[in-house]
Structures are given as C-alpha cells and as structure tokens.
Chain A
Amino acid sequence: MKNRKFIVGGTIIFFILAILIYQGLNRSMMAYVDVRELDKADLVNTEVAQVTGIVQPGSVVQNESTGQLTFVLQDMEDPEATVKVRYRGILPDNFKPGLQVVVQGRIQEQEIVAEQILTKCPSKYNTEL
C-alpha cells in the first residue's frame, strides 16, 4: 500500500477526534424546546434545558431585596401553554415583556430555575418596518 503511513496516521487522528466529539456531546447536550412541548418532553428534575417562549406582558416581578426575578414564559404559538421562571442575575439589555427569549435552566415541577436568559437579537440587523 503506497500511502499506508498516511492512512494509519489519519485513522488514529480520526478516532481521537471522534472520542472527543462523543464525550463533548454527552456532557453538554441540552434539549431545546418550546413551552408547549415541556409536558411531553419529560425533562423534570433531570437536566439543564433551553426553553424558548415569550415573556408574558405584565408578569415580570422583581423582588428588590432578594434580587430575584420571576416572570411567566408563554408559548409563541399557543398562549395557553405557560411556565413560571425564577432567575437571579443579570438580564440582557433588551429583555422586556413581549420579547422572545431562551431560558436556560433546570426544570423543577411547575417552574424553571433559570441559570441564563438569552434574548433573541443583540445584533439583529433588519428591523422590519
């Protein structure tokens, strides 16, 4: 075989890479669901997940003394599907009621304890008129 050295070396690198990717995936996979899919997704108390929805207008409550924020996350298509979110930490600048957000956190019974809240558009170029 003419290029045996190449094939042997390449195969070794390929396998190391495959192992790295496999392990990396196992440790950092997160379900990404809409609010309405929460019930059937069976994520309660298991793992960190990302849930996307709209911050329900009028639901945002900030507790000044504890710094805790709560709001209701509403499904983008089905307004009936909602879930309560608890969060402590820094909010993105453009966080406001009515905006689509991605809440990353642990799902406990009927609420999400958020670790991070991402808004969908710090660099959205096209503001539709």
Chain B
Amino acid sequence: MNILGEIGIKISWVLSLYAFLVLFLGIRSRQPSFLQSGYRAFGAIFLLTTAATGALVYALATKDFSLRYVAENVSSNLPLFYAVTALWAGQAGSLLFWAWLLALFTALVILQNRNRNEAFLPYVLLTLSVLQFFFLTLLVFPSNPFEPLGFTIREGMGLNPLLQNPGMIFHPPTLYLGYVGFAIPFSFAIAALLTRRLDAEWIRSTRRWTLFAWLFLSICILLGAKWAYEELGWGGYWAWDPVENASLMPWLTGTAYLHSVMIQERKGMLKIWNMILIVVTFLLTILGTFITRSGMISSVHSFGASSLGPMFLVFLLAAALISFYLIYTRRHELRSRNRLDSYLSRESSFLFNNLILLGATFAVLWGTLFPLISEAVRGVKVTVGPPFFNQVNVPIGIVLILLTGICPLISWRKATWNNFLRNFLIPSGVFLASIMALFVAGLRNLYALLSFSLSAFVLATIFLEFYRGTRARVRLHGEAIPVAFGRLVNKYRRRYGGYIIHIGMILIFIGITGSSVFKKEKEVTLRKGDAFEFAGYRLEFVGIDEYRTSTAQVAAAALKLWKGDRYLGLANPSKHYHFLQEQTMTEVYIRSSLKEDLYLILAAIQKDGSVQIKAHLNPLLIWIWIGGYVVIFGTVIAIWPSRKKKPATAARKAEPAETVLQPAS
C-alpha cells in the first residue's frame, strides 16, 4: 500500500508537469487533441492522489508505525476516528490532503466548464497545473508522507491531546477547503488576463466557488475560535496570534471581493480592483501557509520551523510578480466604462466597504509582520500585542456595521432623498431609540453604544426588506405569509442569502462587543467548604474528584453553583494528565446562556487540598456561535444552485426583476 501511495504521488508530479506542457502547446498550436490530453492528465492526477491519500489513511487506521508520519501522529490506543483524521494533523499529511483537494477541485472545474467555457478552460488549467506542480514537488522532495521511519518502534507518539476535540479535528480541513477553494477564482482571473476576456464572465463562472471558499474559511475561523475558547482555557477566543491572523486576512479580502464583483457585474466598474482583490486573496492564502509553516514569525502556535518556508516564499513572490505583471500590461483594457457619480450611491458605499476591509487587512498584516519589519529596519525585534489590533480594528468594525446596513439599500448612481426616507427613516429611528435606551440604562462605553445601536439599525433595515418583499408577494399573488416569505427567499437566493449572512455577522458583532466590553474576571483560592460570589453567581467548593480514564488521570474540582437563589448543579473544572504525552490539560467548565457564559478554570490544586479557581464572565458570547450558524445558513442559501439551466444568465436577470417587487419606489 505505502509503495503504491508513494508511486502515485511521483507519477502525479510528472503528470502535472506534462499537463502544463501539453496545455501550453495546445494553446499555442490550437490543437484540441493536446488540450484533451491535458484534461485527461488531470483526471489521472485526481485518481492517483486519491489512491495515495487512501493509502495514507489506511496506514494511519491500521497504525503502521513503519512510516514516520504514522509514528509521529497516532498511537495504538487512539480511536479510529482520530487516527483517520490524523491525515491533516501533521505537515506531510496536510500537504497531501491539500494536493488531493486541488486535484478534486480541478476535476470538478473540468466537468463543469468543458462545454461552457471552452475558451477559458485551457488557461485556467494551465494556472492550476502550476499550483499542482508546486504542491506535488513539496510532497516528492522535502515532505514525503510515506517516508519510512528507518527503525522499529512499538508505540507511536499519538495525537496531541489538545487536538483531540471535534472542533479542532474539522478546523484544518475547513481551512484547506477555503484556501484551495480560492485557487479556482484566482486561476479564472489569470485566465481572463491571459485571454484578455475581461468582462464579468470569469466572475460569474466562479461565483459559487468563491462563496464556497469563503464559507469554509468562515467556518474555519469560527471553529478555531471555539476550539481556543473551549480547550486552551484562557477565557477568550481570539488572541490576534499570527496564525489566527493568517486565516483572517484572506477572509477579509475575500469578503471585499465578494462585494465588489457585484459592482462589476452590474456596472462594469472596478475591474482592476476585482483582479487585484482576488490575486491578493490568493497570495494571502499562500502567505498564511508560509507564516504557519516557516517559523519565521514567532507565534504562540509555532508549528516548528521547517524547510518549506523558503519554498513558499519563492512561490509567493513568483505568483505575485506574474499576476501583477499581467494586470499591469492589461491595465488599459481593465479601465471601467462608468465612473462614480456621487459619494452617496451604492457604487461608492461598496467601494468604501472595500477600502475599509482592505484597510483592516493591511493593519492586521502590518501588525503580524511588524517584528520582521522592525528587525530589518531598526535591528531590534519588537512585537505588537492584541491592544494594537483592537485599537485599529474596533473603529473599523464599527464603520463596517454601519455599511452593512447602508450598502445593500442605497440607490445606484446617486441616492435620492426619497430613497433615504424609504429605506432608512425607520431604521434611523431604531438607531436613535436604542442609543438613548442604552444610555439611560447606564451604558457609557462609546464603542459599545455605537456597536449595539448600529446593529439595531442594520437589523431594522434587513427586517424592513423582508417585510416589504413578503407583503408585496402577499398582495400580488395572494399567498399566505409564510409561503410568500419562503418563495421570496427562494426566488432571489443570492440577495436574501446575503441578508441572512448580514444578520449572522451582526449577531457575531454583538457577541464580540458584549464579551469584550463587559467581561469580568476573578481569581480565588478556596479550601473545602469555602464559597465565593461572582457576578450574581455563588460557588461553593465541595471537594476534589479523582478518577482515571483510558488515556488520562483526572482531578476535578466539584463546585456547587447557584445563580441568585436558584441551585444550578455541580460545576467541575478539571485537570487531565495524559499518560502517553506526559502532558496536563486544563478542562474548563462553561455554562452558556443567551445572556452570558460562566467560564471556570481550575488553575491549580495546592498540596493542602485547596484549589485556585479563575472565573470569567463573558456576556453575550454565545451570540458569536449563533451568528456563525446564521452566516453558514445564509451562505448555503446564496450558494444553492438554481434549477434553471443557465444559472449565469439567471443571476444577471435577478436584479432588475427585484425592482418590480418595490412598487412604492
């Protein structure tokens, strides 16, 4: 099996080079048979990498410790589920999984576009063959997953217990799905540049791919945050660590891209801008891999320095150089026909939203690379902590909330007074009412006041849209309200899916604001029978439970928990000592409600039997996860294929048709 996997990778590597050459020749000589041969090469790469991935999964599942990768990542007592998912627990396996995803996506692109985009497809595949060649090179030379260990051992290292959490198990694959997903719109963009077919066709053809990649990157970030919150036990979910930033940056530019392409589709504007955005998004996914894999930027994560760093850097620079050269040489064709007429227009508000998102990306990038920059310029290593990122990004976030409300509803070209009254009068009233209500209720933090009341503003605009759309259908078609609502969303999935995503994002903003502005902490040392009060809760330390599981020795503090007079049960934050890894893990106790999370950490057990407990109160934090589910739901609606035969033209017609629904304007 192992030898089959290794051979599969090597043949794929040769085939990716072959595909590049044959496509190149096919494009130059206009020989369809050459192109066909190239397509078939990708089919073979997909089958071979599937076989190689299967072989590695088999080796992991059967715990074949003769392979270095297996020995380093699983142990004989590891459950089958975790053993199989160890495919992406280490570097070599991750890269194989990555190459396999790219092969899968390429095969799907061929199936999808064979008869639709014949002019584009060879160029798209040319780009993808270069990417595939790069990743396979890594697998053939520096990072071979089938490398034999060279000596025999009876037991493997096992999977890091911190990673044995469902959230963490699905975090890496969602990241790769997102990262690899962005390679598809990127290669279409390069194809558009190469063929000089610079209308919105390449954007329409990849709209679902982009949404797909964005969806998985969103899920990845949320899972990472949830895992950090539940497993790392410091009471928070986001620390602005370089590795976290690495996933956030392409998400920000990807979000900007998803918005600005609408302007190109509708108005033929921002062509150059969209090109730059998708190229930058793709480059940031490569930079993200570089940051996590090179060890050049000191991160709490620090995956261990590896030889891959320089290779990624070279690839990154080469990709940037080629992409920007292509954009530069085609800059005249990328000029837009229309121009901005007014600051108060949908075009401007989208552009503004883009600049803000890009600004946030730049600030995060600057903060992440700052240690490197300062060392190069001033010779001293200087880091910036979370205060920097918060200080820059909180105001940006507040402007973004405001724009979430304005962008979808402001008129094209130039907003009129009527447009304002119609779409924003009631929401502005909601905004003023909520800011006053919060102020009277005693809230004095400016950012929190703005964040909450602007959120109310945005939710009001969206509910008004849903209400008006539904009412119009009820009147026109005489449908019952739920039917009208369902059909409305179903008919204009892209638009209403987008609104639902916005609702989710607003809930996330509310959760972030609540849990960062109003959080409380308290640290206490308790002897048996001691009790303490914290934020309306009362906790009494009863004793320590000690027991053994199959992998760990557990010491759990038992605390009786009351909220006011109501007894809520026992809370048991604990410490798990994992024998195999000789590592202690703190398992926190979390009691979530819609209002707040109570988060208890067993910091230490003293020799005299007393315990040190750290309690956190994180108000509204659960709304981050709820908002996440809403974002996922909305994206799925927006991505769902329509039954019509030509989705591209359907999408084009959707917008004008919607104006029919607004008889009042």
Q: Are B91 and A126 in contact (CB under 8 A)?
A: yes
Q: Name the interface residues of B155-176: CB closer than 8 Å to any CB of A.
A: 157, 160, 162-163, 168
> How many Å lie between the Cα of A91 and that of B575 in the bound state?
13
Knowing A20-B363, A122-B301, the reply to whether A25 touches B388 (Cβ < 8 A) is yes
Q: Tell whether, in the assembled complex, residue B68 and residue A28 are in contact, meaning their CB atoms are under 8 Å apart.
A: no
Q: A13-B359, A17-B362, A123-B163 are in contact. Are A129 and B157 (CB under 8 A)?
A: yes
The answer, yes or no, to whether A109 is at the interface (CB within 8 Å) is no
Contact with A along B352-372 (1 / 0, CB 8 A): 100110010011001100110
Q: Determine the chain B residues whose CB is within 8 A of the CB of A104 once the complex forms.
A: 385
Q: How far is the CA of A13 from the CA of B360 in the complex (A)?
A: 11
B366 contacts A6, C-beta separation under 8 Å: no
Contact A32 B301 (CB under 8 A): no
- Check if B356 sits within 8 Å of A90, measured CB to CB: no
Closest B residue, CB atoms, query A20: B392
B612 touches A67 (CB 8 A): yes
Task: Tell whether, in the assembled complex, residue A122 and residue B232 are in contact, meaning their CB atoms are under 8 Å apart.
Answer: yes
CB of B476 within 8 A of chain A?
no
Of chain B, the residue at the smallest CB distance from A27 is: B387
* Complex-state Cα separation, A124 to B68, whole angstroms: 17
Known: A13-B355, A24-B392, A90-B601. A125 touches B384 (CB 8 A): no
Q: Which residues of chain B are near A120, meaning CB under 8 Å?
A: 300, 302
Q: How many angstroms between the C-alpha atoms of A122 and B584 in the bound complex? A: 11
| CB neighbours of B382 from chain A (8 A) | 29-32
Collect the chain B residues with CB atoms within 8 Å of residue A25's CB.
Answer: 370, 384, 388
A61 to B436, CA, bound (A): 54
The stretch of B203-211, B480-488, B511-519, B603-611 that contacts the partner chain? B603-611
Cα of A3 to Cα of B94 in the assembled complex, Å = 46
A58 at the interface (CB under 8 A from B): no
- By CB atoms of chain A within 10 A, which of B352, B388, B614 has the most? B388
Contact B612 A122 (CB under 8 A): no
A17 & B359 in contact (Cβ 8 Å cutoff): yes
A91 to B359, CA, bound (A): 36
Q: A33-B381, A125-B160, A128-B304 are in contact. Are A90 and B339 (CB under 8 A)?
A: no
Q: Which residues of B contact A126 (CB under 8 A)?
A: 72, 90-91, 303-304, 306
Given A28, A119, A124, A128, which contacts B387 in the complex, CB threshold below 8 Å?
A28
Chain B proximity of A5: nearest CB distance (Å): 5
| Interface residue? B586 (CB, 8 A) | yes
- CB contact list, B378-428 vs A, under 8 A: 380-389, 391-392, 395-396
Whether the Cβ atoms of B391 and A20 lie closer than 8 Å is yes
- Given the complex of chains A and B, what is the CA–CA distance between A10 and B355 in angstroms? 7
Q: A3-B340, A24-B384, A29-B384 are in contact. Are A122 and B162 (CB under 8 A)?
A: yes
List, in ascending order, chain A residues with CB within 8 A of B168's CB: 123
Q: Is the beta-carbon distance between B359 and A31 smaller than 8 angstroms? A: no
Please tell me if the beta carbons of B381 and A32 are within 8 angstroms of each other in the complex. yes
In the complex, the answer to whether A2 meets B606 with C-beta atoms within 8 Å is: no
Query: Complex: how many Å from CA A126 to CA B92?
Result: 10
Closest chain A residue to B93 by CB distance? A125
Q: Are B583 and A94 in contact (CB under 8 A)?
A: yes
Given A6-B351, A20-B392, A90-B603, A31-B381 contact (CB < 8 Å):
yes
Q: How large is the interface on A (under 10, 10 to 19, 20 to 34, 35 or more residues)?
A: 35 or more
Query: In the complex, which residues of chain A have a beta carbon less than 8 angstroms from the beta carbon of B383?
Result: 29-30, 32, 50
Whole-angstrom distance between the Cβ of B294 and the nearest chain A Cβ: 13
Query: Chain B contacts of A128 at CB under 8 A?
Result: 72, 304
Q: A13-B355, A93-B584 are in contact. Are A21 and B363 (CB under 8 A)?
A: yes
Among A14, A30, A93, the most chain B Cβ lie within 10 Å of the Cβ of A93
- Is A64 an interface position by the 8 A CB rule? yes
How distant is the Cα of A89 from the Cα of B583 in the complex, in angstroms? 20
Question: What are the residues of chain A within 8 A of B367 when measuring CB–CB?
Answer: 24
Q: Which residues 61-104 of A have a CB within 8 angstroms of B?
A: 64, 67, 89-91, 93-94, 102, 104
Q: A6-B351, A123-B163, A127-B160 are in contact. Are A28 and B601 (CB under 8 A)?
A: no
Q: Are B608 and A64 in contact (CB under 8 A)?
A: yes
The reply to whether A125 and B91 form a contact with Cβ atoms under 8 Å apart is yes
Q: Beyond A5-B343, A20-B363, A90-B601, is A124–B352 a contact (Cβ under 8 Å)?
A: no
Task: Identify the closest chain A residue to B153 (Cβ).
Answer: A129
Q: How far is the CB of A119 from chain B (nearest CB, A)?
A: 8
Q: How far is the CA of A25 from the CA of B162 in the complex (A)?
A: 33
Complex CA distance for A13 and B366, rounded to whole angstroms: 17
Q: A118 contacts B355, CB within 8 Å?
A: no
Q: Can you name the residue of chain B whose Cβ is closest to the Cβ of A64?
A: B606
Do B339 and A129 touch across chains, with their CB atoms under 8 A apart?
Answer: no
Residues of B within 8 A of A32 (CB): 298, 371, 381-383
| Contacts A28-B384, A102-B300, A123-B163 known; 6 new A-B pairs at CB < 8 A | A24-B389, A28-B391, A29-B382, A93-B583, A125-B163, A126-B91
A residues apposed to B, CB below 8 Å: 2-3, 5-6, 9-10, 13-14, 17, 20-21, 23-25, 27-33, 41, 50, 52, 64, 67, 89-91, 93-94, 102, 104, 118-129
The 5 closest A-B pairs by CB, nearest first: A28-B387, A28-B388, A24-B391, A32-B381, A24-B388
**23 CB-based A-B contacts, threshold 8 Å:** A9-B348, A13-B352, A13-B356, A17-B362, A20-B363, A20-B391, A20-B392, A20-B395, A21-B363, A21-B392, A24-B384, A27-B391, A31-B381, A64-B607, A118-B300, A120-B300, A121-B302, A122-B300, A123-B163, A123-B301, A124-B301, A127-B157, A127-B160
